[in-house]
């Protein structure tokens, strides 16, 4: 079966789960995959046998093109239809798998313009459901039409996002499948075995991984961490891994709270380096919030899943799909608190610190088995076969 994957940018550092899924399908017998992208990045760290580049046609500059194509919803006028026609004839895919809502919009215009009837899988991942449809009327209209076609199936990683897809894009429930993201084996194959012991006199190390945007809740964690240090007089360090538009705001907050000696930031690390950092820490926190301005929320939480799979105890807010990701047997390994409640987060940190956690393999494996890359791969293959049964 020939699968043509379209992703607007191959491959974003924050979209490892897309790359991992495509590679996992490619490793299965009977599947031939080709990737097409409008923008190319990180190709050295994300190798793949067949990557095609069909850029968005430019008007004056890339910035102006982006504003017109996406903010003003004129994408249809910037597509190189002739290049796509040649590509689709030469590749002759059985299925097109469009990754992200903006990716699906481009495929929608192409199939309509070229009058092609190719089965399509649309994978939505987060803000393309929670935020974009509320801000862009034509985005919602086009994706509702596309997603409800008889030869189209859409996937979302959580039941939370399924409900949002029904509400915000008006996708029929029978055209939606919940397909949790998988995760890299870097995290689960060598789990953490040594846990924090206060008697050794070492600092208690807390970690958070996430792009520095409002919905990730960095400021809540910094305020809670500062309160915890002052109230309980603990020796502790906080590491933040990530970068983004709020980096300067976060830097300034660290200074204003007097946390320069307690907080470290790493802007960009490889997946293997993130896994190594997780093993060196004692607690993982994901303090995500629903951003009242952008409407973005934590649709899944891959970093939280990776932390669980490596064996870290974890604190997450009840934002979006996070409670689904960490669902498992009752355990001291996981604590869920109400989003935006800094006092509750402060108490959760103290509870985890005081629990003398020494690992919970039953909880870890229950999450790992349920959300493994193998499970993700088998489920997406079942969806391909539903759209295009083998002869």
**Residues with Cβ < 8 Å from 22, sequence gap 6 or more?**
5, 33, 35, 48
pLDDT over 60 (residue 135)? yes
Choose among 317, 264, 263: nearest CA to 287. Answer: 317
Q: What is the pLDDT of residues 179-200, one digit of tens each?
A: 999 887 778 888 998 899 888 8
Q: Which of 182-186, 247-251, 307-311, 328-332 has the lowest mean pLDDT?
A: 182-186
Residue 123 contacts residue 300 (beta carbons within 8 Å): no
Q: What is the pLDDT of residue 59?
A: 81
Q: How far apart are CA 262 and CA 246, in angstroms?
A: 19
Mean pLDDT, the chain, rounded, equals 93
pLDDT over 70 (residue 302)? yes
Q: What is the pLDDT of residues 331-366, one digit of tens each?
A: 999 999 999 999 999 999 999 999 989 999 999 999
Q: What is the pLDDT of residue 188?
A: 83
- Taking residue 195's Cβ as centre, other Cβ atoms within 10 Å add up to 14
pLDDT over 70 (residue 264)? yes
Looking up tokens 């050794």, which residue turns up? 200
Q: How far apart are CA 380 and CA 368, in angstroms?
A: 18
Q: How far apart are CA 300 and CA 160, in angstroms?
A: 9
pTM of the model: 0.91
Q: Which of 154-168, 179-193, 289-303, 342-356 has the lowest mean pLDDT?
A: 179-193
Q: What is the pLDDT of residues 6-41, one digit of tens each?
A: 999 999 888 889 999 999 999 999 999 999 999 999
Q: Which domains does the chain have, with CATH numbers?
A: 2-182+372-387 (3.40.50.2000), 186-370 (3.40.50.2000)
Q: How far apart are the first and last CA of the chain?
A: 10
**Residues with Cβ < 8 Å from 183, sequence gap 6 or more?**
17, 20, 302, 305, 306, 309, 371, 372, 373
């Amino acid at each position: 079966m020939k699968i043509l994957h379209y992703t607007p940018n191959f491959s974003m550092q924050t979209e490892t789960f897309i790359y991992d899924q495509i590679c996992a399908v490619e490793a299965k017998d009977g599947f031939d995959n080709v990737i097409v992208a409008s923008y190319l990045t990180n190709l050295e760290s994300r190798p793949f046998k067949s990557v095609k580049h069909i850029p968005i046609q430019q008007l004056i500059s890339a910035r102006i093109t982006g504003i017109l194509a996406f903010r003003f919803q004129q994408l249809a006028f910037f597509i190189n239809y002739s290049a796509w026609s040649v590509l689709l004839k030469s590749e002759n895919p059985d299925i097109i798998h469009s990754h992200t809502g903006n990716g699906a919009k481009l495929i929608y215009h192409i199939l309509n313009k070229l009058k092609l009837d190719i089965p399509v899988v649309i994978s939505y991942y987060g803000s393309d459901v929670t935020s974009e449809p509320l801000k862009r009327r034509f985005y919602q209209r086009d994706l509702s039409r596309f997603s409800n076609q008889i030869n189209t199936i859409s996937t979302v990683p959580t039941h939370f996002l399924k409900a949002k897809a029904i509400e915000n894009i008006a996708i029929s429930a029978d055209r939606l499948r919940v397909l949790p993201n998988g995760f890299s084996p870097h995290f689960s194959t060598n789990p953490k075995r040594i846990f924090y012991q206060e008697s050794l006199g070492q600092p208690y190390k807390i970690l958070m991984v996430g792009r520095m945007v409002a919905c990730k809740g960095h400021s809540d964690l910094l305020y809670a961490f500062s309160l915890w240090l002052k109230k309980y007089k603990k020796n502790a360090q906080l590491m933040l891994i990530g970068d983004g538009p709020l980096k300067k705001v976060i830097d300034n907050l660290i200074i204003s709270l007097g946390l320069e000696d307690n907080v470290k930031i790493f802007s960009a690390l490889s997946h293997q380096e993130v896994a190594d950092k997780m093993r060196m820490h004692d607690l993982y926190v994901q303090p995500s919030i629903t951003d009242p301005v952008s409407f973005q929320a934590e649709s899944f939480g891959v970093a939280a899943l990776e932390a669980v799979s490596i064996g870290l105890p974890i604190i997450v807010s009840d934002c979006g799909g996070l409670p689904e990701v960490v669902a498992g047997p009752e355990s001291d390994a996981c604590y869920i608190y109400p989003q935006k409640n800094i006092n509750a987060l402060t108490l959760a940190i103290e509870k985890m610190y005081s629990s003398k956690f020494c690992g919970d393999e039953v909880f870890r494996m229950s999450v790992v088995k349920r959300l493994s890359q193998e499970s993700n791969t088998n489920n997406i293959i079942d969806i391909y076969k539903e759209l295009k049964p083998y002869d």
